[in-house]
Structure 1
Amino acid sequence: MSLTPMTVAGEKALREELNRLKTEDRPRIIQAIAEAREHGDLKENAEYHAAREQQGFCEGRIQEIEGKLGESRVIDVTTIPYSGKVIFGVTVTIINIETDEPVKYQIVGEDEADVKLGKISITSPIARGLIGKSEGDDVIIRTPGGDVEYEIEKVEHL
């Protein structure tokens, strides 16, 4: 079994969601099912069926999060000595050589990735191309639209 890398913030967010699902959502859904049962015939009771469907989604998400946490390896970048290289968890600013446009990304685990927030997965083509490189290095990233050349402007080790 290979462990999936995850940042400290990513683990915290998953644990908070898991706690909310178990302590708030699950009891609320159980109460809704109990109330719907009191209304009688379950075959034609839309409230009951909706609550059961919510329960299925909730339990499925709980299992999914527990599985992800069990298969993850939390990496605290602040405990790794700064080497100036791009590694998991750092924030890197790259400049597209053709357009001279800067872009800033944090390299995170798959579950934490959100391009809109500037977080890319360690398994993304951009992150794979940047890992191990240093400030000032030029990197060619293979994208669906063709190869793009970037210069690594800054590596921030949080």
Structure 2
Amino acid sequence: MAHQRDFNPITAAGYQQIEQEIAALEADRPHKIEILAEARAHGDLSENAEYSAAKRDLRHLESRLRFLNKELQYARIVTPSADQVVELGKWVTLEFLDDHDTVTYQIVGTAEADLDAGKTTRVSPLGKAVMGHRVGDTVTVHAPAASYQVKLVAVSLTAPQS
């Protein structure tokens, strides 16, 4: 049995997203098996590019399913509180003090990170720096290339309206 520290915190939405990907892969699996069987029926497997590709695709699908099932096995859904403290699942608006740019990120578990969608992981340099801090705090972010300061402008349970 895993100890509490062995679990990976994740938002409820992130957990659901993994469940949806598993369902999609499981739905696609019979089709991949059918393609493999058709390619195998074409004869000589040593020079059968379709067979090799189908086998690789099925292996990739099976590997991804194993990975995602492990992700869920060790995931622990975290429900953030309604206070102004930065924690997993909350949206944080930050002002970069060097150029006064403002940006908003959701702090998420490692499996959910997607900067294009405005989601940064709690273990990223930025995530580590802001976790546990409150609106109005100024924190130093220690990134690989340089350190910089950000001020927490807002912390909320939902994404701010554009």
Shift of 1:76: 2.8
Q: Are 1:72 and 2:75 counterparts? A: yes
- Name the TM-score, length of structure 1 as normaliser: 0.93
Residue 150 of structure 1 is matched in structure 2 by 150
Question: Which runs of 4 or more aligned residues in structure 1 lie more than 4 Å from their structure 2 counterparts after TM superposition?
Answer: none
Counterpart in the other structure of 1:7: 11
Aligned length: 154
Amino acid at match of 1:105: Y
Counterpart of 1:41 in structure 2 is: 44
The CA distance in 1 between the partners of 2:147 and 2:39, in whole Å, is 57
For the residues of structure 1 that align with 2:60 and 2:107, how far apart are their CA atoms? 29
Q: Is 1:55–2:58 an aligned residue pair?
A: yes
- In 1, distance between residues paired with 2:32 and 2:149? 51
Q: CA deviation at 1:31?
A: 0.4
Q: Distance in 1 between matches of 2:16 and 2:133?
A: 28
**Identity rate of aligned residues, in percent?**
34
CA distance in 2, matches of 1:26, 1:116: 29
Match of 2:128 in 1: 128
Deviation per CA, 1:12-48, whole angstroms, max 9, x where unpaired?
111111011111x211111011111221222221111
Equivalent position of 1:140 in the other structure: 140
- Name the structure 1 match of 2:84: 84
Q: Give the RMSD, CA atoms, in angstroms.
A: 1.1
Q: Distance in 2 between matches of 1:84 and 1:114?
A: 23
Deviations 1:80-126 (A, max 9, x none): 3x221111110000101121110111000111101121100111111
CA distance in 2, matches of 1:137, 1:76: 23
CA distance in 1, matches of 2:25, 2:59: 12
CA–CA distance in 1 between the matches of 2:130 and 2:92? 9
TM superposition score normalised by structure 2:
0.91
CA distance in 1: counterparts of 2:37 and 2:100, whole angstroms? 61
